[in-house]
Structure 1
Amino acid sequence: MAAGAFAGIAEHTVMYPIDAIKTRMQIINPTPSAVYNGMIQGTYRIATHEGFMSLWRGMSSVVVGAGPAHAVYFATYEAVKHLMGGNKAGEHHPLAAATSGAAATIASDALMNPFDVIKQRMQIKGSGAMYKSMFDCAKYVYRNEGMSAFYVSYPTTLSMTVPFTALQFLAYESISTTMNPTKKYDPVTHCLAGAVAGGFAAALTTPMDVIKTMLQTRGSAHDAELRNVNGFMAGCRLLFAREGFKGFFKGVRPRVVTTMPSTAICWSAYEASKAYFIRQNDNSQ
């Protein structure tokens, strides 16, 4: 759990500015001054008009939530994988990898979803004038939209994160087992396998991520139809009517660019921490 907490914080904080740009690119029906067409253009506009540090607005919510959420995430992953026999050296168990990944994300997203809502609200253009801190944002959302606002996107989040994590863990275990059959600590293997697995899973699950962003930011929209979207299918219908099929892949490039290094960092940090604790346990015996 300690290794997972460290990995989660490292993953989210390093690539946070690109994630902020991805969020803004995915917002539906923005004002003309809030249209972002790419990572370079988005970075330049945010940095010049709102200040360079605004790229990190809302990161405190991720830091607070990512630690416990990823602790639960990796603890569940290891427990389920062990129960399904997925830890044997030299053997590849794709079903164990996919199942343990799906179980891990169901547990961790229950903790992380409210923090993710706060993060995305604070990433929106002009949010600095509305929220002074993550606690201020949380109070505003609760007061105006109720507790349900923190979980209205949870089913949609799971529709994205369960296949994302299953695909990522399946790809990671497949690649890492091929590169390192003994399953001993190897930083190069963990980094490369994590990057490829993350990018692959991120590209395939972008449509669900777009709908998740819609649901998590709807309370800040001025569009009445958008504010009344209450679920995944309603979000899909509105997005297709407004922007067509291409709308489902808004922000795919920054999502992949964010996910590849962040999952490489996550797996590298996790495996390094786990190897450290294993050595400590062995030395104490």
Structure 2
Amino acid sequence: MSNIGSNPLIHFAAGATSATIACVSCQPMDLIKTRLQQSKQTKDAEKYSSVAQAARTIIQEDGITGLWRGSTSNVMRVVPGAGLYFLMLQMANRRYRARTGHAMTPLHALLTGSFARAATAVIANPAAVAKSRMESVGVWEYKNGRSAVIDVLKTSYTRGAMIQVLGDVIYSGISFAMVNTTSPFAQKKASPTSQFIVSAVAGAVGTAAAYPLDVVRTRVALSKAQGKDAGIVAVVREMLEEEGIAPLYRGVEFVALRRAITTAVTWSSYRAITAAVGRARR
């Protein structure tokens, strides 16, 4: 992970900063993903039937800055969650190496990544729900991300929490296991490009595995669009009965690409920040 020591604040700050950079730069792709996943839940869903159509509609109705709608709630979700996530990974890696004398095995990395993300997902869930609401169309109208988060805390703290945790566990377990297992090869080449590629592939694979759960989570978070208060089982049943299995994978290629870029930017930024801090502390 890093050789700058065990100062928890450094790893927390590096993780939070790197994830913030990634989420802001990739927010337009995240917004389009949410609009695609809404599908038939709103009367304007036909405007978001494809990536190109969704992007065109957003720009026409809200201008180019509309592509960054939901950025505030996204950052509020990312900062504490990513900071804690990278801190937990660093601590687990350091303790494992001290106890065994070698890096984590793929299985240990899978379990570590899953546990770390599960813990942070519970904390970040209100902001995740708020982000989905801010990015939705024709459902909720909030002045800003802060007001959205406050409303969720008051009314729907646990909405989508279980599915959020499960999806994050699958994604993070797989992606961290791949990054942690293959990173020695990337680092041996001393090539930031190879590190970027490794992280991107890990993000894409993890996303493909967890994508159906992400679709369900978004539908649950947006269930009030039709005056419902549906749970996971009800949302899945309705989706399968009315639309079939297709919505569970609609837009998966685009989302896998988005997550690949986000994961690569996050890990590359984290390594760059910790390396810079390490040089400054010498």
The TM-score, its normalising length taken from structure 1, stands at 0.86
| Unpaired runs of at least 5, structure 2 | 1-11
Q: Pick from 165, 170, 178 the counterpart of residue 171 of structure 1.
A: 178
Are 2:48 and 1:29 equivalent residues in the alignment? no
Q: 1:276 to 1:250 in 2, by over 3 A?
A: same
Asked if the contact 2:15/2:85 (under 8 Å) is kept, the reply is yes
Amino acid at match of 1:66: V
Separation (CA, whole Å) in 2 of partners of 1:103 and 1:229 = 27
Tell me which residue corresponds to 1:252: 252
Separation (CA, whole Å) in 2 of partners of 1:14 and 1:87 = 39
Larger displacement relative to structure 2 (98-107 or 79-88): 79-88
Residue aligned with 1:84, SS: helix
Separation (CA, whole Å) in 1 of partners of 2:200 and 2:102 = 22
Tell me which residue corresponds to 2:118: 106
Q: 1:163 to 1:140 in 2, by over 3 A?
A: closer
Amino acid at match of 1:204: A
Separation (CA, whole Å) in 2 of partners of 1:196 and 1:29 = 31
Q: Pick from 195, 199, 206 the counterpart of residue 200 of structure 2.
A: 195
Q: CA deviation at 1:80?
A: 1.6
Separation (CA, whole Å) in 2 of partners of 1:134 and 1:215 = 19
Asked if the contact 1:78/1:100 (under 8 Å) is kept, the reply is no
Tell me which residue corresponds to 1:209: 214
Q: 1:24 to 1:89 in 2, by over 3 A?
A: farther
Asked if the contact 2:186/2:195 (under 8 Å) is kept, the reply is no
- Match runs of 1:15-54 below 5 Å: 15-35=26-46, 36-54=48-66
Amino acid at match of 1:173: N
Separation (CA, whole Å) in 2 of partners of 1:102 and 1:273 = 24
| Unpaired runs of at least 5, structure 1 | none
Q: CA deviation at 1:44?
A: 0.7
Separation (CA, whole Å) in 2 of partners of 1:156 and 1:86 = 34
Separation (CA, whole Å) in 2 of partners of 1:110 and 1:207 = 19
Separation (CA, whole Å) in 1 of partners of 2:103 and 2:151 = 51
Q: 1:32 to 1:228 in 2, by over 3 A?
A: closer
Q: 1:102 to 1:87 in 2, by over 3 A?
A: farther
Amino acid at match of 2:20: I
Asked if the contact 1:101/1:165 (under 8 Å) is kept, the reply is yes
Q: 1:89 to 1:272 in 2, by over 3 A?
A: farther
Amino acid at match of 2:65: M
Are 2:242 and 1:242 equivalent residues in the alignment? yes
- In percent, how many aligned pairs have the same letter? 26
Asked if the contact 1:25/1:251 (under 8 Å) is kept, the reply is yes
Q: Pick from 120, 126, 131 the counterpart of residue 119 of structure 1.
A: 131
Q: CA deviation at 1:194?
A: 0.8
Tell me which residue corresponds to 1:229: 230
Q: 1:158 to 1:140 in 2, by over 3 A?
A: closer
Tell me which residue corresponds to 2:8: none
Q: Pick from 135, 141, 152 the counterpart of residue 159 of structure 2.
A: 152
Q: CA deviation at 1:11?
A: 1.4
Q: 1:88 to 1:269 in 2, by over 3 A?
A: farther
Q: CA deviation at 1:181?
A: 4.6
- Match runs of 1:127-142 below 5 Å: 130-141=141-152
